[in-house]
Structures are given as C-alpha cells and as structure tokens.
Structure 1
C-alpha cells in the first residue's frame, strides 16, 4: 500500500527509496531498538565459532537474548540460518553472558537469570522472497521477519511479516535434522492454546467475549507469553492489557493512569512497584 502526504486537498505519493545500504539499516535499527522492538542493545558484530551476530539485544520483558540479522541476499535459508544462530547461543551460553556483562558494567546476568527458552532471531531486510515468507508459517517457530522501507522525507517503516496460522510443527517437515530437533527442545514459543487449556469452559467463554471487545478497539496484536496473554496496539511493543488464566477466573493487568481509572466497585488493586511494571 503506497504512502501519501496530504497537501491542501491533494494527496501526494511518498516515493520509496530503493536499495538502502545494509549498514544504514543496521545503524538506524541499533540506535532505536527500544522504540522499534522494545529491546536493549548489547553489542554489534559479535563473533563466535565462525558466525557473526550483527546485533545482539536483550529483552527485559522475557529476560532473554534476541539476535538481529540484516539481509540483502535473497537466497539465504531463513530456517537454516535462524536455527544455526539459536544453536550457537544455546551451546555457548557463557560467551553470551560474558558479552552482556562486559558491555553492561552496571548490570550483570547469570545462567539462571536468563530465560533461554525465549531466545529469538529477527531477520531484517528491504524485502523477502515468497519462499522465505512461507518458511515461517509453522507453529512454535522462534524466528521473525521484518521488512524495512525507506521513503522520501526521512521516513522509515518497519513491517513484520506475520505467519499464517498453521497447526503443523516445524519438526514434522524437517525429518531427522538434528540441529532443529535440539533447538526446538530448548526453545519455547507460547500460544493461546496453552492458556485456554488452563481455564475451565466458563473462563474460556468469558475470555472469548473479552477478546472480541479488545480486538474491536482497532488494530490490536495478540501477544501470548508464558504467564499471560498480552494485547497491544499493532505498532507498539507495550501491552495495554494482560490476561492471566486461572481455572475459575481471569485476572487482568491494565496499563492505565490512576486518574483515568473508573472503579466504583473497587475491584482493582495497584500493581506493586516491586513487580517492575509500575
């Protein structure tokens, strides 16, 4: 879909720039990691065992490492390269911890403080092929594809390629690939079904009614995590509500200023600052 700029009563199309340099994409991304992805920068060009990590990041929400790779080569295999980087991380945890701790003198991590199950790889490119996009259409795949587009007027757009819903697991189509089997045993991608199974028939019905109202608010993205299902505006990395499933009830954590909260029945309580959310 083309972008337009309104000038009086006319719409002027904003032209997309072709062939942005990989180093420019990397620089813009690294300097704005929190704004784009909600991630903290760790380091660039981290080399280990013959592989080079373009950008190493840390996700404070899930306490996990995220690897970002920038690609202009349209022939690379998303699955092969993605799982190679995840395997590198899982087999060299000490090196990743050392890299983080050396770059963050005021913070430190140890093996137990990192949720290795939530490790991810993000590929960023001006465009992906049809085959590369199709490669991520599997259940429980810890890989993301993002296209970046440069426009006149210093405009930059990051757009995630969303996978189709598919019940098939990546392991069912990779045969005896040892590396993929090892990684998928260690990496967890949580989905809505996990949370629905925690509830009863009544809480599932209640959730479906709640979800419909949330999704009716606009372009909302569902974000299942280990302990909750989050919902955020599609261009944001912050959940405005998180739904926690219990057998006989749902518990909601809502991001809202105190002055805007209407609670005549006094059902709500403020999240303690010790939780790190307030």
Structure 2
C-alpha cells in the first residue's frame, strides 16, 4: 500500500528510489551499525584467503562475529555464499580475533569468543523467491534483510522473518563442507536453552505477559540466555535455572524500591544488565515487570 506525506491536509505519495550502488548501501549501514543492529563495527572489506567480507561486525549479545554482505542485484546464492563465509571464519579464527583486538584495542584469545553463534546477514533491496525459500529452515545461521530507500530521504530496514520454519538444515544433504559447518555453527532455540530445565513453564508464562503488556518486543535466543529487546536495545535477559529464572535488567538507573536486585556491574555474569534478581514463581512477576517497564521506557 502506498505511503503518503501530509502537507496542508494534502497527500503526496512517497515513492521508492534506488540506491546508487552497493557501496552507498554499505556506507549507510556501517555508519549506523549500533543504531540498526546493536553491533560493533570491526572492518570494512576484510580480506582473508582471497575472499573479501563486505562488513565484519561483533555482537556483544552472543559474543560472536557477524558477517554482513550487501547486494544490489538478485543473481547470487544465499546458501553457497553464506556457507563460504562461515567456512572462511571457522578455518581462520586467529585472523578474525587479531583484527578484533587491533580495532577495539583488546587482548582476547580465540577461546574468548563463541564461534558457534556466528551468523551471516544479507542486506539487499529485494530477493527472488528462490533466495527466500533457500533459508526457510529453523536453524540456519543466515538472516535476510530487505532495505528500502524513499524519496523523502528515509530508509527502512526490515528482516524477512522465517520464524514459522520447522525444518532443520541438518535433515537434508548439504555436502561435506556444509555438514561440518552445521556441526559447529548452531542457531539456538528456546527448546535448546531450556533443555532439561523445569523453569520452561515459568518462562513461557512470563514471556506471554511481557508480549501482552509491552509493544514491539523482540526476543533473541542465545546459547546461555534469552534477551528481550525494543528498538534493537536490550531491556532485560533471562538465564534459565533448574526451577527458577535469573533475570538481569539492563538499565542505567533503576528504582528498586524493594531492594530485591543485586548489583553485578563489577561481577562477571551470564546475561545482559547490571541489576540481577531471581524469579521463583508467578508471584514475583508484578514487581519484575515494574523494573522491566523502567528499562523499556529508557529504550524508547
């Protein structure tokens, strides 16, 4: 449906316009990586073993690298190119870690990264039906983002969601190289996170309340915890325990008037946020949601 601009009660249609080239799209994305995707920029045109990565980024949420590829044409294979990039990273971990240390002035080793949560993002103005169908798996580590530029100097980044997919990429024959990558790279689900944990029912009830009471919530599942986000910014994270949930509220300031939160800002911990509290039952939800709301409002 067309979008219109309102001027003196008159409507003028806002039309789509083309990017000049892939480089224009790349510069726009790289200059706004944190705003768009909550990622840290590492390197543009990063080259290893005769392959060049358009943008190398890093995700603090998953402690892993993110590879971004831009396309202004439709004649490319998402699967083949995506797996080639993953193979490049897994076979050259030291080079990626070295570049991370050089850019961010860190001294990390390979063991400090979770390579199993590496993902590849494709960003393009459009995709073919074949490309869309090729990533319809529940556990494939690729994301397709459609970007639209408009005549009123605005832009829209929209992830093409395959959350309804139930098939696993491991169920089909993908070749020796792809099978070896699939064993090391894993896209985690709620079932993986809560495996053998009785707290899954408590989490499910909490999730339903959050999604009911707050708008535009995005849930991201990592290897060790789940995060609730709005505007790509983390509100809180939940780490499953055997029968309870360990919550971390990610806020600059928090009015914890019941003094139930533990300050973990100077303590190493799984999860995102400096305020930690435990939820034992649904009776704990109301107060936690008050804290959640403070962080939510901060991120709007």
The TM-score, its normalising length taken from structure 1, stands at 0.88
Q: Is the 1:198–1:246 contact (alpha carbons within 8 Å) kept by the matching residues of 2?
A: no
Cα distance in 1 for residues equivalent to 2:21 and 2:2: 21
Relative distance call for 1:11 and 1:213 in structure 2 (3 A) is farther
| Aligned-residue offset at 1:258 | 3.8
* Partner in structure 2 of residue 118 of structure 1: 117
Q: Is the 1:195–1:245 contact (alpha carbons within 8 Å) kept by the matching residues of 2?
A: yes
Relative distance call for 1:12 and 1:251 in structure 2 (3 A) is farther
Matched, 1:153 2:146: no
After superposing the two structures, state which structure 1 stretch, 36-45 or 4-13, moved more.
4-13
Q: Is the 2:138–2:162 contact (alpha carbons within 8 Å) kept by the matching residues of 1?
A: no
Relative distance call for 1:168 and 1:47 in structure 2 (3 A) is same
Relative distance call for 1:10 and 1:165 in structure 2 (3 A) is same
| Aligned-residue offset at 1:58 | 1.6
Relative distance call for 1:255 and 1:98 in structure 2 (3 A) is closer
After superposing the two structures, state which structure 1 stretch, 43-52 or 139-148, moved more.
43-52
Cα distance in 2 for residues equivalent to 1:143 and 1:36: 17
* Partner in structure 1 of residue 40 of structure 2: 40
Matches within 5 A, 1:19-38: 19-38=19-38
Q: Deviations over 1:195-222 (max 9, x none)?
A: 333421xx33322221111112122211
SS of 1:188's partner is: coil
* Partner in structure 2 of residue 205 of structure 1: 201
Cα distance in 2 for residues equivalent to 1:256 and 1:277: 7
Cα distance in 2 for residues equivalent to 1:263 and 1:253: 16
Aligned structure 1 segments of 4 or more residues deviating by more than 4 angstroms: none
SS of 1:166's partner is: coil
Cα distance in 1 for residues equivalent to 2:100 and 2:112: 12
Matched, 1:127 2:126: yes
Cα distance in 2 for residues equivalent to 1:95 and 1:255: 32
* Partner in structure 1 of residue 216 of structure 2: 219
* Partner in structure 1 of residue 264 of structure 2: 271
Cα distance in 2 for residues equivalent to 1:167 and 1:49: 35
* Partner in structure 1 of residue 233 of structure 2: 238
Q: Where do 5+ consecutive residues of structure 2 fail to align?
A: 275-300
Number of corresponding residues: 270
Cα distance in 1 for residues equivalent to 2:240 and 2:151: 46
SS of 2:262's partner is: coil
